[in-house]
Amino acid sequence: MTNEFQKLLEQAKAHLNEIEGKPRVRIGTDLSGLAAGAIDVLNAFKDEASLKALDITISEVGGLGLNYAEPVVDIQMPEGPRVFYNNVTPEQVTDLVKEHLIAGKPVSSWAMAVEEKDPSLDIPTLAELPMMKGQVRIALRNAGHVDPSDIFDYIASGGYSGLNKGLFEMEPADVQEEVAKSGLRGRGGAAFPTATKWRFLMGSPGPIKYILGNCEEGDPGAFNDKGILEGDPHTLLEGMILAGYATGASNGIVFIRHGHDTPINRTREAIKQAYANNLLGTNILGSDFSFDVEVSLVGESYVSGEETALMESVEGKRAMPRYRPPFPAAYGVWGKPSNINNIKTLAYVPEIVSKGGEWFTTIGTEKSKGTAILCLSGTIERPGMIEVPMGMTIREAVEQLGGGVPGGKPVKLLQTGGPLGGVLRGDKMDIPLDFDAMSAAGAILGSGGIIVGDETVCAVDLARLLVAFCQYESCGKCFPCRLGTTHLLQILDRICDFKAQEGDLDLMRKLGNDMQVGSLCGHGQLGFNPIKSSIEYFPDEFSAIIEKKRWPTENYFADFFMPDRAKRNQQTETFASLRRA
């Protein structure tokens, strides 16, 4: 261990002892927490602490992934149990301060869990909660536990030890080899072997090379990239620096969608602190390796997630994919050799380097190693973010961890992998979380979003909504995508308006094939997926609308517009007009 890192560890230990010497309150202020009112709860704790002159530490942390339980607050007294409270309101804060922080007595009736079993409290541990059972947390290991704005909190939890090991105990090729042994594949959707991508960059000459961390994340139903940056931005920075060391890169850019202030601000603060502690910049930790990182923002453009469009956006141009070759490893951002990795992919690297690639292979399946970070939403009992071993079935993730559809109703369908992914029938949920198995089933894991639908969801209109998103987000550069998505939406619109024409389904299949063959990037190549899978798994619903001129799903429109089912058909044209508008 180097002297510089030893000093950082000593500072982190002293900092941790100071924090643990007095009561600590952690409040989840990620996007889900903020949406549930976490800021009001945070301010209430600050006001109470000031009013009663309490010497306590109040920390803003990321989310535990338990979105259904937000706002989540945990309180830990010195030498006492760490107690988690769910769905906390500002009105409860006065009693929590009085009973727990002043009297030292946890409010058991409001408590959700404790970190470790305590004989004095009849409360389950955090690991025993239904949504936490079965999780294996690697990239999310610190989320909800460390203060993302406190670098010493991260270091005290083992942070940057992988970087220290990589810089002083391993050669760049050794780091790349450990990632190769791990079998890590990209978590942004393509599932390309990470070490192979790094190898392309290693072979490109030049004093300036880039590692880009992609957090564009425009998929409806996906929020895990932002979740990592909100809860543990230093794990991304550590992974990015290690990627730079392994490939000989000199610069890193974290690419975040504009307007997502919490991940943007926390990443910028993490970068600032890393520079202040010689973990970024010249001669990191006294080594011969230097690396710089900055944040680049992009506007509301889904196509920006495509790696070459991302580079165009970084350069200040309109986010449109480039023709390839040349590939980014030879000619990337600013014309320099570049590698683009998803945030989740880079977040695994510190633990892989620390524990070795062989350790990572003990988790997951033969071809899909490690874990999957899933975002569960839709008509589901426990929406949130989970990290589970590859190989777990979708059914286990949705029903056991997510609780299934409220009221015990059956799952009718799943939409996986974002708007370019597929629609799966509910009886197909026994597919394992595996890149290849899901692809064979007509779905993709993508960025990890899984949207659950019950019997009220119409598969035809869901496909239309997804295609409408794809059509709106098409950058327009290549005509197979620009015109193809437009024509697909026009056809689905007339089908949903009960004006289908003979051969519409075959026409959509032909358009989809042309888009797959001729489009410049995955946006057009995969744009037919939602329709293709919906036709495959729900042919009766298409038949009901096209041939029988009726909505196939009980109460689909009635629930939204009118209590009298007899008037449903009278409202169809009105709804169609609103949709077209």
Residue 558 pLDDT: 38
Pairing label, strands 82-85, 111-114: antiparallel
Tell me the residue ranges of DSSP E strands in 30-130. Answer: 57-61, 73-76, 82-85, 111-114
Report the pLDDT averaged over residues 372-383: 96
Amino acid, res. 131: M
- Stretch (H or E) spanning 384: strand 384-389
Q: Is 407 left (phi over 0), alpha (psi -120 to 50) or beta?
A: left
Q: Is the pLDDT of residue 576 over 70?
A: no
Distance CA 233, CA 226 (A): 9
Q: Which residues contact 381 (CB under 8 A, 6 or more apart)?
A: 68, 402, 403, 404, 405, 406
Residue 445 pLDDT: 86
Nearest Cα to 462, choosing from 421, 409, 504?
A: 421
Q: Is 438 helix (H, G, I), strand (E, B) or coil?
A: helix
Pairing label, strands 210-215, 338-342: parallel
Residue 479: count of CB within 10 angstroms of its CB: 14
Q: Is the pLDDT of residue 417 over 90?
A: no
pLDDT band at 246 (very low <50, low <70, confident <90, very high): very high
Q: Is the pLDDT of residue 460 over 80?
A: yes
Residue 575 pLDDT: 42
Q: Interhelix angle for 233-247 vs 224-231, to 10°?
A: 100
pLDDT band at 443 (very low <50, low <70, confident <90, very high): confident
* pLDDT tens-digit readout, 22-78: 999 999 999 999 999 999 999 999 999 999 999 999 999 999 999 999 999 999 999
Distance CA 374, CA 116 (A): 25
pLDDT band at 566 (very low <50, low <70, confident <90, very high): very low
Report the pLDDT averaged over residues 253-280: 95
Cα end-to-end distance, the chain, whole Å: 64
Report the pLDDT averaged over residues 240-251: 98
Residue 577: count of CB within 10 angstroms of its CB: 10
pLDDT band at 304 (very low <50, low <70, confident <90, very high): confident
Report the pLDDT averaged over residues 127-142: 96
Report the pLDDT averaged over residues 195-199: 96
Q: Which two tokens stand for residue 197?
A: 């991508």
Mean pLDDT over each residue of the chain, to the nearest integer? 91
Q: Is the pLDDT of residue 299 over 80?
A: no
Pairing label, strands 371-378, 449-453: parallel
Amino acid, res. 517: V
Residue 421 pLDDT: 85
Burial class from Cβ neighbours inside 10 Å (0-12, 13-18, 19+) for residue 518 reads middle
Residue 102 pLDDT: 96
Output the pTM of the full model: 0.92
The DSSP call for residue 101 is: I
Residue 220 pLDDT: 83
* Backbone CA torsion sign across 429, 432, 438, 441: negative
Q: Among the listed ranges 169-183, 256-270, 463-477, 545-559, which one has the minimum average pLDDT value?
A: 545-559
DSSP notation for 397-414: IIIIIS--SGGGPPP-EE
Q: What is the arrangement of strands in the sheet containing 292-298, beginning at the earlier edge strand?
A: 292-298, 251-257, 210-215, 338-342
Residue 32 pLDDT: 94
Q: Is the pLDDT of residue 503 over 70?
A: yes
The DSSP call for residue 323 is: P
Report the pLDDT averaged over residues 166-182: 97
Tell me the residue ranges of DSSP E strands in 418-572. Answer: 423-425, 449-453
Q: Which two tokens stand for residue 433?
A: 């979380």
**Residue 290 main-chain phi, psi, to 5 deg:** -125, 145
Residue 1 pLDDT: 64
For the chain, how many helices (H) and strands (E)?
Answer: 24, 14
Q: Is the pLDDT of residue 556 over 60?
A: no
Residue 563 pLDDT: 39
Nearest Cα to 194, choosing from 399, 348, 15?
A: 348
Q: Which two tokens stand for residue 256?
A: 């975040």
